Structure 1
Amino acid sequence: MAEFTATVVWQRVTDPPEPFTDQRYSRRHAWQFDGGFQMPASSSPHSVPLPFSDPAAVDPEEAFVASLSSCHMLWFLHLAAKAGWVVDHYADAAVGQMARNAEGRMAMTQVVLRPHAQFAGDRAPTRAALKQLHHAAHEACYIANSVKTEVLCEPV
């Protein structure tokens, strides 16, 4: 069993002090990871209006989409290398949709991955083999296996 950690830190602005109970406080915070990396984070401006959210920071919804995309990519690269295909470039313009789920709660109800892989030389998988690679990457992805959200993959 592996354990993964992230530390999330928020501090109320006290100079001048934000009242807090009126909901007019900054949602800006930091994500800290075990390797020492720290990332600015915030609520999404879609959820909390400016200036109480920070559009320049990563919000949990964006991180959720990026996490699914990143996990899929890492498995895809592994499986492509194992099959003997050399990937030169990989990009994914992933999009997540927030809507009410079957229980009537707001949720990330769909994430669409749109990966595009470029292969070295003239040796690239057939369309069918590429589709199978993406299917296998999706099946292996720890994050996709951990959520109820429908995760679709539409390679371009």
Structure 2
Amino acid sequence: MSEHLARIRWQRDGAVFTDQRYSRAHRWEFDGGAQVPAAASPDVVAPALTDVSAVDPEEAFVAAVASCHMLWFLSLAAAAGVCVDSYDDQAVGTLGKVDGRLAIREIVLRPRLTFAGEAPTAERIAALHEAAHERCFIANSVRCPIRVQSGD
């Protein structure tokens, strides 16, 4: 078992706060030293109350799912002797109502792969994706469906 830590920092910076017009911008800090500007999505609060250039929690959620899947895919491909040259995923999460509450309804992974030498068959790639999905800790932790839409 392991623990994974994140420090989330926000400051009021003199805003009234109780009028709901405070900044939603904050920072995520990780144990390796990485710091990420974060904020509420401009789809959730007025753009003036957020930092549109920062990562929002919904984007981070989709990125975590896609990253975990990719890391497992690469590991399984390497173990199977399949040499991947590049993996480029433009994953998308859809926010909507689920049981009357807003939630990420679905995540679609759209990896585009290039291989060294001859590419494996579509069936072999699909099998690697399925095995990666089964092993992904993040995918195993969420309720929404996750689909892989392969372009290979």
Same-fold status (TM-score > 0.5): yes
Q: For 1:62-102, what per-residue CA distance to the aligned partner results, in whole angstroms no more than 9, with x for missing partners?
A: 0000000000000000000000011000000100000000x
Aligned twin of 2:86: 89
Match of 1:3 in 2: 3
Shift of 1:22: 0.5
List aligned pairs for 1:1-156, cutoff 5 A.
Answer: 1-14=1-14, 18-101=15-98, 103-122=99-118, 124-156=119-151
Task: Please identify runs of 4+ aligned residues in structure 1 that moved more than 4 A.
Answer: none
Deviations 1:17-51 (A, max 9, x none): x1100000000000000101110000000001111
> Kindly, what percent of the aligned residue pairs are identical?
54
Deviations 1:86-123 (A, max 9, x none): 1000000100000000x21000010000011110022x
Letter in 2 for 1:116: R
- RMSD of the TM alignment (CA)? 0.6
Residue-pair matches, total: 151
SS of 2:47 mapped into structure 1: coil
Gaps of 5+ in 1: none
Q: Which amino acid aligns with 1:86?
A: C
> Displacement, 1:125?
1.3
Following superposition, the deviation at residue 155 of structure 1 comes to 1.2
Distance in 1 between the 2:150 and 2:129 partners? 8
SS at match of 2:49: coil
What is the TM-score of this pair, normalised by structure 2?
0.98
Instruction: Give, as a single letter, the amino acid of the residue that structure 1 aligns with 2:8.
Output: V
TM-score by length of 1: 0.95
